[in-house]
Amino acid sequence: MNGKEVVERALSLGEAVHGSEREKAILKLIEGSLDREVKRVPVRTKVWEVKEFHVRVNGREVEASLLPYTRGYAEGVAGKDVVLLDMPSHPFEVKPLYEGLMNREDVKAVLIYDSGKLRRIAVGEGKPSAFVRERVREGDKVEIEADAYLKDAESYNLEVTVQEGESYIVLGAHVDHWLSGYHDNLFSVEILLDLLDQLKRLNLKRGLKVVFFSSEEGPRCCTGSFQHPKEDTHVMISLDALFPSRVVFSATPDLWRYSELFSLKRVEMTTPFSDHFAFVTEGHPGVVLYNDDLIPYYHSDADLPSETDEAFKREMTASLLRFVKALDSVSREELDESFFRFAESRGVKLKERRGALVPYGLVTKLRGER
């Protein structure tokens, strides 16, 4: 099977929650499609199981999606003790809104409407809350029943060694996904699967690995990548939430010069919200290529294949091959020197890269930077 065929089968499985049997089913599909040796790297994670879930409005069941990782039973009146919200402009605004409402004793639950889409936006444990397919009106009687819980689980990452070496360029993509999850993140899986043979023909000086990660989503971001071995990494490239037809080049500053190889939306200091960041915290150069043009479909059941995916895939393939070749020709010493020069330009004197970048909103900043 080629990458497209693997992903078509993965899509047919439905939502693949972190640590779930469906996540492992996708990993098995990937493993079965490869004609080369694959290493399984065990991952200790959490799985979220929804045993029973119902939203009833005026006694009638309506389509809804439970917000991870809320649970419990609530009965109330919409617009009073059941708060009605419209989807905010950015998905990351949902959690602080929810947390603020949970501080109010008069709030029993929250319902969010987003033009008929269902979403999974993780808000943490709390009173049962959901996205609803249809708009609920003030005064409607609402009943929410959610028997759901997090439990310990075992999964694994799949590591494919394309070429042996003393240090490795690592390309990765996570396989778990909320709801339909095509662009976040099965499309990236498809790109990497179809890229493997071309990567092998590059005949690099350095080693090259491709990793398919478990549990990027979850109560803790990037559980799979944080548990993956990293000591022999040259540079880590994560593909995550790609969407036609441009990328945000979110990277450690020593890699910014390579952004010209891609169709760009912008260049930014690396975000902590993808699998590359586990490598960055250990002191390695890293980048995630994503596109926040996906926001209208992010973590929703409307994240489905589009007509422009195939052309964008060809463009991304060509750019990634050029990027890998460029990284093969630069030494780690050069990259480190560039990183330390950047830190000095920001008034920060560093002795090492490990732990040098810390989360700062949606991106990161240098530890000690004002």
DSSP notation for 116-146: T--B-----S-S-EEEESSPPPTT-EEEEEE
State the Cα–Cα distance between residues 370 and 362, nearest whole angstrom.
Answer: 17
Confidence at residue 79, expressed as pLDDT on a 0 to 100 scale: 97
Assigned token pair, 54: 């119902």
Residue 2: asked if its preceding bond is cis (omega within 30°), the reply is no
Residues 6+ apart with CB under 8 A from 224: 43, 45, 155, 157, 174, 213, 214, 215, 216, 275
**Which alpha helices (DSSP H) does the chain contain, by range?**
3-13, 21-33, 94-102, 187-200, 223-226, 276-280, 309-328, 332-345
SS3 153: strand
Assigned token pair, 128: 């049962």
The model's pLDDT over 143-154, given as tens digits with 9 standing for 90+, comes to: 999 999 999 999
How many other C-beta atoms are found inside a 10 Å radius of the C-beta of residue 344?
11
CA distances from 128 to 114, 115, 131, 347 (A): 18, 21, 11, 46
CA distances from 250 to 17, 266, 326, 353 (A): 25, 8, 17, 17
Confidence at residue 119, expressed as pLDDT on a 0 to 100 scale: 98
Cα 64–chain centre separation: 22
> Which class in CATH covers the domain with range 3-47+153-365?
alpha beta
Residue 245: asked if its preceding bond is cis (omega within 30°), the reply is yes
In the block, which residue shows the tokens 């993140």?
A: 185
Q: Which amino acid is at 120?
A: R
Which residue numbers in the chain have pLDDT < 70? Answer: none
Tell me the helices (H) and strands (E) count for the chain, helix number first.
8, 16
Instruction: Give the alpha-carbon dihedral of 227, 230, 231, 237, to 10 degrees.
Output: -160
Assess contact for 164 and 92: CB atoms under 8 A: no
Residue 168: asked if its preceding bond is cis (omega within 30°), the reply is no
| First-residue to last-residue Cα distance in the chain | 51
Confidence at residue 370, expressed as pLDDT on a 0 to 100 scale: 84
Angular region, 79: left φ>0, alpha ψ -120 to 50, beta rest: left
> Where in the chain are the domains?
3-47+153-365, 52-149
* Furthest-apart CA atoms within the chain: distance in Å: 68
Assigned token pair, 55: 């939203």
Distant-in-sequence contacts of 87-93, Cβ < 8 A, 24+ apart: 87/112, 87/113, 87/114, 87/115, 87/117, 87/119, 87/131, 90/295, 91/119, 91/121, 91/295, 91/298, 91/299, 92/362
In the block, which residue shows the tokens 């200790």?
A: 44
Cα 275–chain centre separation: 7
Instruction: Give the alpha-carbon dihedral of 174, 175, 180, 182, to 10 degrees.
Output: 70
Residue 58 bridge partners (DSSP): none
